[in-house]
Structure 1
Amino acid sequence: MRAILSGIHQKKSHQILELELIDVPFAVENLAIIFLEQNSLASINVPIHRNVHDNIIKVDIDPNDFIFDQLNLTEFAWQLYFSFNVENDRYLLQVESEYVSDRHQLSLSSYFVFDSDDQQRALFNIHAQAGADEFAINSINLTDAGIEVTGYSTINGQRVTDQTLTLEDRDTGDTLSYTATPTTLRGLFEVQVPIDEIRQDGHYELFIQYKYADQQVRQRVILARSLEGQSVLQPNAAGRLVQINKTYNNGIVITEIPSLTLGQKFGLVGTKAAGVGELLHQLNLKLNLQYMRRLFKAGHRPYEQTTIVFESFGGRQVSDSPLAIYDLFTKLYPGFNYIWSVDKEAIPYCKEHHIPYVKRRTAKWVRVLEKSQYWISNARFPAWVKKPKYVTYIQTWHGTPLKKLGLDIQNVTMPGTNTQAYHRNFVKEANRWDALVSPNDYSTQIFRSAFGFNNQILKVGYPRNDELINSKPEDITALKQAMGIPLDKKVVMYAPTYRDNQFAEKGKYTFELPFSLADFRDKYGKDTVLILRMHYLISNALDISQYSDFVYDFSSYPNISDLYLVSDMLITDYSSVFFDYAYLQRPILFYPYDYHLYKDELRGFYLDYEQDLPGKIAQNEDDLLAYIGDYLQTPDMRDDPKFTKFYERFCAINDGLSSLKVVNYVVHQIENNG
């Protein structure tokens, strides 16, 4: 039996701890969490009054209760134990951790961190006297535009406002001040400092001013973690270099240093050229599978520079949660090395967007995979890809499961495999994942059973959905303009799944639209457009040439979240897209035209399809057209009880910071392994 700390959520000034119980072989009663302070041996018993639901326990704590004046302690290290009764006997089980938090301020002079020790056991560390003159930022980087600083905009759940960053020259006392702006991630602020305003030979320390709890606060800026992975050197317009350094007490100093010598410049140019050449170079020789396997068996050593490989849908795209994590990583930690594993079809996209890549199934691809320290993917790597011991493999997966997965599929009918082989390969691959991202408790339970998975689960929500939570109306308008969608019309999105029984040969799937485009146009074509998003496994292109005035095919569009944002409603069948679309709290219509065949003969479902869905179910085309009209008149579903119940179960965990939580998890691993 195991008890795992899997998530923490703030509720006003309290923290809601979520613990997952695994392999519970018997009934447990009188549940409690016991916190044991390692230095003083003080203990706090927190009874669990709520019933255990799906083996998930929730505990409400106030971090201030874990600070006491005895023994003159200023730092507290609390271990967590799960306490329970089996019949008349009392047991203690030390809690493991699958969650590592950032530094969270309790007050101006205290903060706490949830961490784990080298055995992955949960720790709750509180620093009660951290110094009221310190403000811990999240990151600082030098870019072409200037100095970019990000930080949290709350203290113990209370908003911090009117942030102003000040650069103070410690030699002359001169100051430069800049006002903060919100970032695309809710809960963070950002300050941009033009690099050309840094004075020659200046030595600037960073300070911040803001309003908190009706008081004006001024503190020096600190960075609690190392500068590793962040961009700390950048030339300005005058050709001189601006540099970021840390002081002995975690403060930040920005200086302008003399220009490089001619020899140093040649060396720098050579290094950059070699790096670009290495990223763009690819072998034209087509390597067969046996050669690939031999290459993976060759001995490799990891790169000296921390290297993270990203892959989405087996290299077909640069998209989904891996892209959201990559975008934030490159913003906060540009000093790490990032490489995308892509197929030939995705290479033009990488070139157009200046994304470093390596072509899959080449000798260079093998070398990059084997020498990198981290893999981040949303699907499975081929079984013959060898994972070195020093690689941390983070699996983001690609959807909340509606249809049966992995070991839960009793009859696999996909081409190129059979049920036994599919199960065997699924479990073998899942055992290589060091951490698996989960969007909710429902998915966590399914992932454990369907994948045979017992490693770390990061229950932080899907990073790809951060965009849905953080986007603003002006962002949606800009997307529509870029995609050529009329601003004066409603947008209906149709995104069905593929059918396991609709394939002509291995890798070739077929599909036909199950409703009349002509009827749709007659009824709604004047003020509504239809966008299509077909599954990537459906290879034949739909002929919509007769309906190009109101139908848009975005099946190849790389970021499906953009399509969600521009749509006023979603039509789907069994695709898990509706779990993500629900974050927008807009109407969802289900059109399972082959429901009984799909349910009884193919995979089946985890949910009760007729009872648990957040929208109406159209049984035929007449229903479909009628319900579209109803939902177009109801753009906001927050007052719908059935939808609200669904939202609370599947979407409430995501606060728009999922990408940041995964980034922080990886950085924690890097620092521990460094």
Structure 2
Amino acid sequence: MRIVYYTFRGQFADSPRALYRALATRLGPDIRHTWLCTAETEHTFPTTVETVPMRTPEAVAALESADVVIANDCISMPWRKRPGTVYLQTWHGTPLKRIHHDVADAPEGWLTQADLDVARWDHLLSPNIVTSERLRRAFGYRGPVHETGLPRNDLLNGTERASVRARVRAALGIADHQTAVLYTPTWRDDLVFHRSEGRDFELAIDLEDFHERLGSDHVLLLRLHHMVSDRLSAAESTIARDVSRHPDVGELYLAADIMVTDYSSTMFDFAVTGKPLLLYTYDYERFRDQLRGFYFDLEAVAPTPLLGSSKELIDAIVDIETITAQHEERYARFRETFCHLEDGGATERALGLLFPSGFPARSGNSGSTDRPVHTATSEGDENRADL
């Protein structure tokens, strides 16, 4: 058996990595695990992991000989899935902003190869009830959508949470007494689709004010979206560190004490931890009305107020305990809506789709396999969620 894995931009990360780790400990040495990589990411893989460069004849051969393909994004390259191959698409988060065919004014031809890949999918994972039919419609996908939660988030409920936090903070040079603020802004369409304009990603946080008001007790971790992670114009400093290349964002969730984001799906994942979450939406109207648009009213659903300026954001960080207490009920509703499947058992539920006749349980597994997997098989399920 050959299993081929792909994570956006050829990384060793996300839900495919969680599934790989589970499978590698259970399947025998005769199982071949192959990861698609790029020249930039190949060195980030463990030396024991077989890699093949994307968009090469070797990558095509790997995919066309695979028994199982696991990906978290469209594999936008020509290849032919052979009969009997099972393709599991995990996707990579709960969308607030519109995606794929729901994006207005996308560049012509942007989705041609992606649509061909969607036609290859056999299973699509959904992180929650709210998301299932949105994914189906956005991709024009006709197969089953399985509400399993995201395997990548099992780490956030795992028994190794404390040790991962300590290890990552030590590696980043974050002292025990320091508050780590993880900033995860999403990408803006005009920075990607119109690169000829020459704009770079602009850090919207006043670092000088951040340092003056919060001091050395706080450190800012910058996690840019992979679409613009090479466009950071702000240099690192003693209070700001670029962690965009860190291989596992889940580890950063554990290392952080507070998350700041805007419209990124990271907000839904970080909420699993229950730690403070702030939404810095300085270009809210422009993003909603001109750049991308949303699937639901963020103001109505947000776990905390929308913050429109760097000053408001830093005020909120300074007074984070009060903000958290005042919006405890909103945060709880947010978690009930978007994190109801994130119980540590998503990996097990996804493996059940790949091995429906049964798969031996790993000893010491912290996830539950008892939760039934709801499979949305038709658009008649779209009214199950009211957001």
Q: Do both share a fold (TM > 0.5)? A: yes
Q: Name the SS for the 1:389 alignment partner.
A: coil
Does structure 1 conserve the Cα–Cα contact (< 8 Å) formed by 2:303 and 2:327?
no
- CA deviation map 1:53-73 (0-9, x unaligned): xxxxxxxxxxxxxxxxxxxxx
Question: 1:572, 1:591 within 8 Å by CA — same for their partners in 2?
Answer: yes
CA contact (8 A) 1:585 1:636 kept: no
Kept in 2: contact 1:520–1:625 (CA 8 A): yes
Q: Matched residues, percent identical?
A: 31
For 1:516, which of 206, 230, 233 is the aligned residue?
206
What does residue range 336-415 of structure 1 map to in structure 2 within 5 Å?
Answer: 336-350=31-45, 352-412=46-106
Match of 2:220 among 530, 535, 550: 530
Structure 1: runs of 5+ lacking an equivalent: 1-305
Q: TM-score, with normalisation over the residues of structure 1? A: 0.50
Give the structure 1 partner of residue 371 of structure 2.
none
CA distance 1:518–1:386, shift in 2 (3 Å)? same
Does the CA-based 8 Å contact 2:223-2:242 persist in structure 1? yes
Q: What's 1:544 paired with?
A: 235
Partner of 1:429: helix, strand, or coil?
A: helix
Which digits, 9 at most, give the CA deviation of each residue in 1:622-658, with x for residues without a partner?
2111111122x36977981111111111101122011
Match of 2:2 in 1: 307
Say which structure, 1 or 2, has more relative contact order (CA 8 Å, 6+ apart): 2
Distance 1:491 1:665 in 2: 37
How many residues align? The count is: 355
Deviation at 1:423, TM superposition (A): 5.6
Counterpart of 1:566 (choices 239, 251, 255) is 255
Segments of 5+ residues of structure 2 without an aligned counterpart are 360-387
Structure in which a larger fraction of residues adopt strand? 1
Amino acid at match of 1:540: R
1:331 pairs, out of 3, 25, 35, with 25
The separation in 2 between residues aligned to 1:385 and 1:534, in whole angstroms, is 30
Equivalent position of 2:142 in the other structure:
454
For 2:291 and 2:100, how far apart are their aligned partners in 1? Answer: 13
Distance 1:635 1:491 in 2: 17
The answer for the alignment partner of 2:189 in structure 1 is: 500
**TM-score, normalised with respect to structure 2:** 0.86
- The SS at the match of 1:574 is coil
Q: Quick one: distance in 2 between partners of 1:382 and 1:526?
A: 44
SS at structure 1 position matched to 2:52:
strand
**Contact 2:115/2:139 (8 A) holds in 1:** yes
1:443 is aligned to: 131
1:654 has 2:342 as partner? yes
Distance in 2, matches of 1:489 and 1:529, equals: 7
- Judging changes above 3 Å, is the alpha-carbon distance between structure 1 residues 474 and 425 closer, same or farther for their aligned structure 2 residues? closer
Alpha-carbon distance change, 353 to 524 in structure 1, aligned in 2, over 3 angstroms? farther
What secondary structure is seen at the aligned counterpart in 1 of 2:58? helix
RMSD: 2.3
**Contact 2:130 / 2:338 at 8 angstroms: preserved in 1?**
yes
Q: What does 1:143-292 correspond to in 2, within 5 Å?
A: none
Matches within 5 A, 1:509-658: 510-538=200-228, 539-545=230-236, 547=237, 549-631=238-320, 633=321, 640-658=328-346
Q: Distance in 2 between matches of 1:365 and 1:424?
A: 19
Q: Which runs of 4+ in 1 moved over 6 A?
A: 506-509, 635-639
Residue aligning to 1:85 = none
SS, match of residue 23 in structure 2: helix
Q: 1:384 is paired with a residue of what secondary structure?
A: coil
Q: Which one has a bigger Cα radius of gyration? A: 1
Cα distance change of structure 1 residues 577 and 506 upon mapping to structure 2, 3 Å threshold? farther
Out of 109, 115, 118, the residue aligned to residue 430 of structure 1 is 118
Q: Deviations over 1:336-375 (max 9, x none)?
A: 211111111121122x442111122222222111111111
Matched, 1:467 2:155: yes
Equivalent pair of 1:507/1:537 in contact (CA under 8 Å): no
Q: Give the letter aligned to residue 448 of structure 1.
A: R
2 CA distance for matches of 1:623 and 1:320?
32
What is the distance in 2 between the residues matched to 1:638 and 1:454?
43
Answer yes or no: is the 8 Å Cα contact 2:19–2:151 preserved in 1: yes
Q: Give per-residue Cα distances to partners, 1:146-185, cap 9 Å, x unaligned.
A: xxxxxxxxxxxxxxxxxxxxxxxxxxxxxxxxxxxxxxxx
- CA positional deviation for 1:422: 4.1
